[in-house]
Every structure is written in structure tokens, then in C-alpha cells.
């Protein structure tokens, strides 16, 4: 029996269907019929007893009573909380596919706001998986002995923001949609046109990159696009691999990602600033990575090798600009970035790292085509589901700023309620950096760089950088990572970045609760006289 038909007949098995989420949503066409049901008496209008026949009244009243009974039977059978739980204000009605129940369950306010509610579908039991530093069945108990992991840059800071804004970004995909290998782009077979379009709109509205007459290649994160760029830019006809360089401190993953397959096309060659100007440059080809703002140090950067200082090229090669953090909540937007090859990622703009979508903005069509070829060979394109989700999210952000006029600047005080994404994120990052600096000033054990302010065209004011990572220097110990680890804070050693072990990189993108534990611990460490 089709459960929808049962529902229409007011079958007594409604409880099971209700629990399975089959009763909601109503199939829309039947929904209209349900509404129409009490209307039958309206059709039977005939002038009597003040214009309305008693038969009509009886039937109308009877239908209304039926609806009351139906409704209250459900409210009683499940406690009200359950009834409300199955109709959360901010979620879309569930699909009838069982896995959606996992998503609905995890959207409930379990776990005291300090954990994720997970349902084991096989056993239909759920439990809280607590966030760092919280414990207990409902994650309500702070755990002061916790180890905080700031080694990665997992952007969990954005989670609560999207929870409040979640209903504007729900993604719904029907079972038969987007099944093909092929998307609808006229240029690269796997790219969805809607995603290309929304990326261009976003950059126009935010003002942080030029996209006109550029090609956009989508990848499984900017990580994959980085490798695609190396493949596309390396000459295939040289006896030695292209040398991949970046000025220290450089992003710690570059060396490993470059070299893990021991490609003959390109090899990691270290510090761009250390490359000798002389030498046989005929066979040597350099690919210089410029990360701006830099990871781990947070400041604006320019090429030191390919374009050289004062614009004089010193070496034959190509440039890759990794602009993952070139967004207004991390660095003043001085001008729309306008480089030959620019990498961006959803992970560091909206926080949706798990979606795995990045994009490259490329001037040269041949380079873009070769990057797309890499993506084809490596993974036969990029998941359509991920592209759909990224489109949703980026479109929501673009819309937020269109509602503020769609053109820079967007002063801080123009933020709505709830705030627009970058207004939220900028305020949060400013809070965190001010808090961190104020704590570090209280002692001499730790230091972070000072930054110069710059004019930010996005906010229309002079601002300080508020990077995604803190590049912390231990003034009193040589192995900062070890010291921090001994004190329950996991960081990444400066030695991974081509720098000294006296430095560590720690994430400023974790949840607020974790950040507060961090500054609290740093503050306490400042008070300890000797190094433990």
C-alpha cells in the first residue's frame, strides 16, 4: 500500500508513517486535496436558514471535528516535544529516504550545544559525540583536562553561524538528478554552469578578485587544484623536473603534496628567496607559489622569484597564487586580485571544508584546459552533489551582500541581523585576535607578529589583518610544539613551514569554546615562572 494513499484515507497507521517522516511533507498535490476536503460543503450552497443549509453546516462541522481529532491524536501519541522535534522550524520537510532521519536527528538541540547527535541507523540508537573539552552524556560537563587540537585548520568556527542561517542553504537533491559524469558547462565537462556563475557573482559583489575573461576550473578543494596547476604549468619537454618553490615560512603541506608521487614533472625545491640568481637557467623552470595572505604568518605577500623585486623577473617560470584567505575577515581587501592563476576554496571562505570544493581563476585557456585534464584523469571531475551544495552556499552569501546594495563598501555598521557572513566572521576574528593579544601582552613567554593596518575596500575602513592562524613564537623554549603539547595544546611546529622550531602555527578557526580554553591556558602558562 502506498503510504501516501494510507495517509489520504486517514489510516490508523499514521503513527508509523509520522515517525518515518512520511506524513510530512505532504505530497503537494495531495496537500491541496486535503485542504479542499472541507470545501465540498461550500459547493453545496443553497439559500435556506439565513442562506446556508443545515446539511452544509453539519458536514462542515464534521470535517472540522475530524481534523481536530486527527491532530490531537498525534499530539497525544507523541509528547509535544517529539511532535515539535519532527517539525523543526528551520529544516525542510524530510525526504522519505531513511538516511534523512540522520540529518533531522542531528539537527535537534541535543548535546547542550557542545556536541553532535549521531544516530546509528542500523540499531536506531543515538548518542552525543562531544566537542573538544566537553563530556558527559549530553556534553554538558566541561573537561578541563582536555587536549585542544589546533594542528589543522578545521573551520568549525562557522558552524553556529550556518546553524542560524541554515534554512537559507538547505540542499535538496532528487534521486535521479545529476547522475551523469557530464555537467552542463560548455567549457569543462564536469563543471556545473551554476557554480561558475555564482563564483563570478560572488567575486564581483565582494570585490576580491577579477574574473572577467578568466576561466574557472573547479576542483576537489584547492588542494587538488594546486596539483592540477603544477601539472599544467610544468613543461613536459625538459630533462629535469620543474622546481617548485615558495618563500619561507611556507604552507607546510606544499612539500608533501608536491613530492608524494615522486613525479618527474615537478619537485619541491624549497625556499623561493634562497634561489641563486645565477646558474644554467635553460633547463631550469621554476613554479613559485605565493600564498597571500600567507599561511602560517598571515601577512600579504608577493612573488620574490618569478616576478622578482621591483617587477624584474629573475627566473624563467610560472606563478601560482594561493588566495585561500584573501577574504575580508582575514585581511584588508586592498584591490581585486588580478593574477594569472588564483586558487580559492569554500573551506576558508564559508567554512564548508567537508564539501571539498575549490576553484581556480585562470587567465590562459591552455593552462585551464590542462588543469581540467588533470581533474579528469585524477577523479573524472568533481562530485555534482558537492557542486550543488557549494552553489547553494555561495549563492546565499552573494544574496546577503546584494541585499546590502551589491557594491563595496559594506561598512561594519550596515550588518543586518542575523549578520552577513563576512561581517559575522570579521567581528569574530577581531574579537579573537584582540583577546589573544591582550593575554599574550600579560607576559613574555609568547609573542605574535604585529601587523600594519591597511585600507579595506570591502568594509570601507582601515583594518588590521586577523589571520586564520596564529604564528606563535615561544620566547623561552626552543621546541615550542613540544612545550605546547605538554600543556595540552596541539599545534604544528614551525619546522614544517621551513622555519624554526621556536614557532608554532595554531588554528584560530576552531569553535569559540575551544578558543576560550586556548587563551585561558596561555594566560595560565604566562604565570608559571619556570618552564615545566
If residue 169 lies in a helix (H) or strand (E), which one and from where to where? Answer: none
Place of cell 613540544: 482
Quick one: cell of 447? 609573542
Which CB, 252 or 303, lies closer to its own copies?
Answer: 252
User: Could you tell me the smallest distance in angstroms from the CB atom of residue 235 to its own copies?
Assistant: 12
Which CB, 261 or 527, lies closer to its own copies?
Answer: 261
380: helix, coil or strand?
A: coil
319: helix, coil or strand?
A: strand
Which CB, 353 or 474, lies closer to its own copies?
Answer: 353
Which CB, 210 or 396, lies closer to its own copies?
Answer: 396
Quick one: cell of 117? 547527535
> CA quadruple 424, 429, 434, 439: dihedral positive or negative?
positive
Which CB, 197 or 369, lies closer to its own copies?
Answer: 197
**Exposure class string for 36-50: b at 16+ Cβ within 10 A, else e:** eebeebeeeeeeeee
If residue 54 lies in a helix (H) or strand (E), which one and from where to where? Answer: helix 54-77
Q: What is residue 376's DSSP assignment? A: H
> CA quadruple 426, 432, 435, 436: dihedral positive or negative?
negative
Query: 290 and 244 in contact (C-beta within 8 Å)?
Result: no
Which CB, 202 or 440, lies closer to its own copies?
Answer: 202
Which CB, 457 or 507, lies closer to its own copies?
Answer: 507
User: Could you tell me the smallest distance in angstroms from the CB atom of residue 32 to its own copies?
Assistant: 7
User: Could you tell me the smallest distance in angstroms from the CB atom of residue 170 to its own copies?
Assistant: 3
User: Could you tell me the smallest distance in angstroms from the CB atom of residue 166 to its own copies?
Assistant: 4
CA–CA distance, 74 with 16 (Å, rounded to integer): 11
User: Could you tell me the smallest distance in angstroms from the CB atom of residue 311 to its own copies?
Assistant: 33
In terms of Cβ atoms closer than 10 Å to its own Cβ (0-12, 13-18, 19+), residue 504 is buried
User: Could you tell me the smallest distance in angstroms from the CB atom of residue 394 to its own copies?
Assistant: 9
Which CB, 231 or 515, lies closer to its own copies?
Answer: 231
The closest of 460, 445, 413, 464 to 530, measured between CA atoms, is 445
Q: State phi, psi for 149 to the nearest 5 degrees.
A: -105, 100
User: Could you tell me the smallest distance in angstroms from the CB atom of residue 88 to its own copies?
Assistant: 8
281: helix, coil or strand?
A: coil
User: Could you tell me the smallest distance in angstroms from the CB atom of residue 135 to its own copies?
Assistant: 17
Amino acid at each position: 500500500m502506498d503510504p501516501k494513499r494510507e495517509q489520504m484515507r486517514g489510516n490508523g497507521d499514521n503513527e508509523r508513517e509520522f515517525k518515518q517522516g512520511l506524513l510530512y511533507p505532504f505530497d503537494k498535490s495531495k496537500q491541496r486535496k486535503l485542504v479542499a476536503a472541507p470545501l465540498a460543503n461550500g459547493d453545496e450552497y443553497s439559500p435556506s436558514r439565513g442562506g446556508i443549509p443545515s446539511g452544509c453546516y453539519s458536514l462542515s462541522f464534521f470535517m472540522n471535528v475530524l481534523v481536530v481529532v486527527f491532530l490531537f491524536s498525534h499530539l497525544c501519541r507523541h509528547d509535544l516535544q517529539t511532535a515539535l522535534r519532527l517539525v523543526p522550524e528551520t529544516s525542510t520537510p524530510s525526504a522519505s529516504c531513511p538516511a534523512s532521519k540522520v540529518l533531522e536527528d542531528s539537527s535537534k538541540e541535543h548535546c547542550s550545544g557542545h556536541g553532535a547527535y549521531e544516530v546509528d541507523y542500523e540499531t536506531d540508537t543515538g548518542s552525543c559525540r562531544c566537542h573538544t573539552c566537553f563530556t558527559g552524556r549530553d556534553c554538558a560537563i566541561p573537561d578541563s583536562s582536555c587536549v585542544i587540537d589546533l594542528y589543522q585548520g578545521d573551520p568549525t568556527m562557522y558552524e553556529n553561524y550556518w546553524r542560524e542561517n541554515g534554512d537559507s542553504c538547505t540542499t535538496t537533491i532528487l534521486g535521479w538528478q545529476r547522475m551523469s559524469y557530464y555537467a552542463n558547462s560548455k567549457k569543462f565537462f564536469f563543471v556545473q554552469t551554476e557554480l561558475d556563475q555564482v563564483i563570478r557573482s560572488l567575486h564581483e559583489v565582494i570585490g576580491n578578485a577579477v574574473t572577467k575573461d578568466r576561466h574557472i576550473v573547479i576542483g576537489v578543494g584547492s588542494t587538488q587544484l594546486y596539483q592540477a596547476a603544477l601539472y599544467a604549468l610544468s613543461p613536459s619537454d625538459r630533462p629535469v623536473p620543474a622546481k617548485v618553490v615558495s618563500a619561507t615560512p611556507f604552507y607546510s603541506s606544499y612539500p608533501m603534496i608536491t613530492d608524494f608521487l615522486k613525479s618527474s614533472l615537478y619537485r619541491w625545491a624549497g625556499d623561493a628567496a634562497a634561489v641563486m640568481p645565477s646558474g644554467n637557467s635553460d633547463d631550469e623552470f621554476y613554479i613559485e607559489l605565493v600564498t597571500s595572505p600567507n599561511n602560517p604568518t598571515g601577512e600579504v605577500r608577493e612573488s620574490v622569484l618569478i616576478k622578482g623585486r621591483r617587477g624584474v623577473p629573475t627566473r624563467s617560470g610560472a606563478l601560482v597564487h594561493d588566495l585561500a584567505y584573501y577574504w575580508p575577515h582575514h585581511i584588508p581587501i586592498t584591490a581585486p586580485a588580478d593574477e594569472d592563476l588564483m586558487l580559492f576554496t569554500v573551506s576558508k571562505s564559508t567554512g564548508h571544508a567537508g564539501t571539498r570544493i575549490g576553484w581556480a581563476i585562470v587567465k590562459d585557456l591552455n593552462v585551464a584546459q590542462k588543469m581540467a585534464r588533470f581533474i579528469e584523469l585524477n577523479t573524472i571531475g568533481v562530485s555534482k552533489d558537492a557542486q550543488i551544495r557549494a552553489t547553494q552556499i555561495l549563492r546565499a552569501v552573494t544574496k546577503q551582500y546584494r541585499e546590502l546594495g551589491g557594491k563595496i563598501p559594506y561598512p561594519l555598521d550596515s550588518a543586518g541581523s542575523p549578520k552577513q557572513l563576512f561581517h559575522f566572521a570579521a567581528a569574530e576574528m577581531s574579537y579573537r585576535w584582540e583577546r589573544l593579544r591582550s593575554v599574550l601582552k600579560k607576559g613574555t613567554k609568547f609573542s605574535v607578529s604585529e601587523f600594519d593596518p591597511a585600507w579595506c575596500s570591502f568594509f570601507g575602513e582601515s583594518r588590521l589583518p586577523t589571520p586564520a592562524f596564529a604564528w606563535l613564537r615561544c620566547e623561552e623554549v626552543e621546541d615550542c610544539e613540544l612545550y605546547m603539547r605538554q600543556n595540552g595544546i596541539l599545534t604544528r611546529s614551525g619546522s614544517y613551514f621551513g622555519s624554526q622550531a621556536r614557532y608554532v602555527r595554531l588554528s584560530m578557526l576552531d569553535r569559540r569554546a575551544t578558543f576560550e580554553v586556548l587563551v585561558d591556558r596561555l594566560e595560565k602558562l604566562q604565570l608559571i615562572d619556570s618552564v615545566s
